[in-house]
Structure 1
Amino acid sequence: MFTGMLFIFTPLIIGYLFAISNKSLLDKINQATSYLIFVILFLMGLSLAALDNFGANVKTILTMTATFFICIGVANLLALPLIDKVFPLHTESHTKRLPLSAMALESVKLVLVVGLGLFLGLVLPIGLEWVDTASEWILLILLFFIGISLRNSGLTLKQILVNKQGMAIATIIVVSSLAGGALAAVLLDIHIYQGLAMASGFGWYSLAGILMGDAFGPVFGGASFMIELLRELVALILIPMLIGRKPCTAIGYAGATAMDFTLPVIQNTGGVRCVPVAIVSGFILSLLVPVLMLFFVSFAG
């Protein structure tokens, strides 16, 4: 585990200082980020294979996943409709059907990468003592690239501040998610700050799983990954169902993925008016994931 929060924040902050106008270079950085996510998720699978009493730990992961997912999801869906009442967002009447199954397969690929690491770790006679150290160093590089991507996302502070729905959605998601995480921590009898850290993933399953795994071990990392992955998969179903009547609720439940993965669903089912709201809310939540997670981890440690 890293010795302090500042050590992890440093590459993120350094990356955020780089303003890059070369689109080709940005594309290469984003591609490298995707590759590193696959690598580190594979290492997460190896870490799970190294656990003692593997069967019991799988049961723990599933229990934690179900408890956090239900508590956080219910809290989000109870709070988000308030934004639709206070800051109503008018969507376009037409909707389009999207190949949601094809989009879901993109998420399944990441699960398969973790599964491959788990399988190879269980069947191959290799030592796994190096996995944690390798994961930590790759995480440093990943956070550096993520900092660059956030800085060069194209959003200015003014664009964020003037979008009241986007800011309200992000605020409600943060507050309600932390409330749900605190409840889950009580139900699971774990440290309250561990619960708050687990609740700060906001749908960014790859980074959430990596940070929690590094901080608290592969059980927490695996559970965090599954919690946020489930949010994304459920969002693909809920967005077309809710966006006509409660657009802010639909966008909000997508969490950080509203600015990238679920954005095509939001745009095609809710219209172009939903796009700025989704991008702003998703950007704010994406920025807060490493900040809040590492903040709560520092207290839990």
Structure 2
Amino acid sequence: MLSGLVIVLLPLVLGYLVPVRHASVMGLINRGVNASVYGILLLMGVSLAGLDDLGGQLSRMGGQALALFTVISVCNLVGLWWLSGRLGLAADPSRVVPGAPTSKLAAMAGSLTLVGVVVAGVALGLAGRFLPGLHAGAETLAEWVLYALLALIGCQLRNSGMPLRQILLNRHGLAIALVLAVTSLAGGLLAAPLLDLRASEGLALAAGFGWYSLSAILVGDQLGPAMGGVAFFNDLARELLAFVLIPLVIRRHAALAIGYGGATSMDFTLPVIQQHGGVACVPVAVVSGFILSLLSPPLILFFLSL
């Protein structure tokens, strides 16, 4: 477990040590992150195509992902609703950014594009399934792309304009991240017997906190491509539901709206939080997403090692 943790965290730490002073370089890093995510999902689709009885496996995978997502979401929403009543965090509609991207429909279309990339990978894998070593090679390449992604994300975190001290002292963001993490893990524990999984496997699946590209590869590497697919669809469904929830609840339950997006609240769902909750919600969302992004890799690897 320790060696796996070092291999995953090392690129994240190395990326965090790199200061970026030019906007053009930061733009290249952001595009590299997006390209890496698409590459990982395409390769994951190729790996899925190598499963025996693919149709039956996909049907089982969808049922497991739906059950896991439902149980975890109920736990998340109950915990974050409780926290919303105690934090006193409020959105500021008077400071909403009118031009901030993105519309709910456009945001969801972006997430559905990720599903399309996985489907394209499956089609590619089926077309070349008789090529020797294709599916094993795809899994190995996906791991290396993940390491590159982690390094780029570490660089993004370093250059987010928010020092670690400010992050750790933001009590709202810290509280939201901790409640989301605890309720997600509780949901994973409750869902494990329903999915005929060990408790540690349910916890590992729940510890992605919305970071689908990471959870899919780490879980798939240990439990097989089918369970990697369950992790991916569980975390992607979180993002899709977050796009629907944020505009509906952020003005009355800001902590719930910010927290439910999990690790994505610092990137993919952040524009929607900014648009509907105002700029006051942005630092809280970034802090919450930052903390969850740091917690996810070691927790997944720890639970997989049990």
TM-score (norm: length of structure 2): 0.91
117, 131, 136: which one aligns with 1:126: 131
Does the residue aligned with 2:251 lie in a helix, a strand or coil? coil
CA spacing shift, 1:140–1:82, aligned 2, 3 Å: same
Q: Deviations along 1:139-178, whole A, 9 cap, x unmatched?
A: 2222222222222222212221332111110010010000
Distance 1:106 1:277 in 2: 24
Q: CA deviation at 1:264?
A: 1.9
Find the counterpart in structure 1 of residue 210 from structure 2.
203
**Other structure's SS at 2:52 match:** coil
Partner of 2:116: 112
Distance in 2 (alpha carbons) for counterparts of 1:298 and 1:16: 26
Q: For 2:151 and 2:32, how far apart are their aligned partners in 1?
A: 11
Corresponding position of 2:53: 53
Match of 2:286 in 1: 279
Q: Which runs of 5+ in 1 are unaligned?
A: none
- Structure 1 residue 57: deviation in Å? 0.9
Superposition RMSD in Å: 2.1
Q: Deviations over 1:211-230 (max 9, x none)?
A: 22223221111111111111
Label 1:49 to 1:2 Cα distance change in 2 as closer, same or farther (>3 A).
farther
How far apart, CA to CA, are the structure 2 residues paired with 1:220 and 1:69?
A: 13
> What CA distance in whole angstroms lies between the structure 2 residues aligned with 1:110 and 1:182?
28
Alignment of 1:7 with 2:7, yes or no, is yes
CA–CA separation in structure 1 for the residues paired with 2:231 and 2:51? 17
| Count of aligned positions | 299
Match of 1:172 in 2: 179
**Aligned with residue 301 of structure 2, among 283, 294, 297:** 294
**Partners of 2:2 and 2:37 in 1: CA distance:** 19
Q: 1:264 to 1:147 in 2, by over 3 A?
A: closer
**Superposed counterparts of 1:73-92, under 5 Å:** 73-92=73-92
Greater mean alpha carbon deviation, residues 155-164 or residues 86-95: 86-95
Which whole-Å CA distance do the structure 2 matches of 1:5 and 1:109 have between them?
30
Give me the whole-angstrom Cα distance separating, in 2, the residues matched to 1:107 and 1:2. 33
Report how far residue 93 of structure 1 moved.
4.0
User: Is 1:62 equivalent to 2:56 in the alignment?
Assistant: no
Return closer, same or farther for 1:215/1:149 CA change in 2, 3 Å cut-off.
farther
Q: Which residue of 1 aligns with 2:149?
A: 142
More displaced 10-residue stretch of structure 1: 190-199 or 267-276: 267-276
Q: Distance in 2 between matches of 1:193 and 1:58?
A: 23
Alpha carbons of 1:164 and 1:44: their partners in 2 closer, same or farther (altered >3 Å)?
Answer: same
Q: Secondary structure at the match of 1:130?
A: helix
Tell me whether 1:102 sits opposite 2:109 in the alignment: no
Q: CA deviation at 1:9?
A: 2.7
Following superposition, the deviation at residue 134 of structure 1 comes to 1.8
Distance between the aligned counterparts of 2:29 and 2:281, measured in 1?
28
Percent pairwise identity = 47
User: For structure 2, which runs of at least 5 residues remain unmatched after alignment?
Assistant: none
Q: Is the 8 A contact 2:103 2:272 kept in 1?
A: no
Structure 2 distance, partners of 1:137, 1:206, is 13
The separation in 1 between residues aligned to 2:147 and 2:45, in whole angstroms, is 19
Q: Is the 8 A contact 2:91 2:251 kept in 1?
A: yes
Report the TM-score when normalising by structure 1: 0.92
1:191-218 CA distance string (max 9 Å, x none):
2111111111111222222222223221
Cα-to-partner distance string for 1:244-297 (whole Å, 9 max, x where unaligned): 211111111111111121122212212222122111111111222222212222
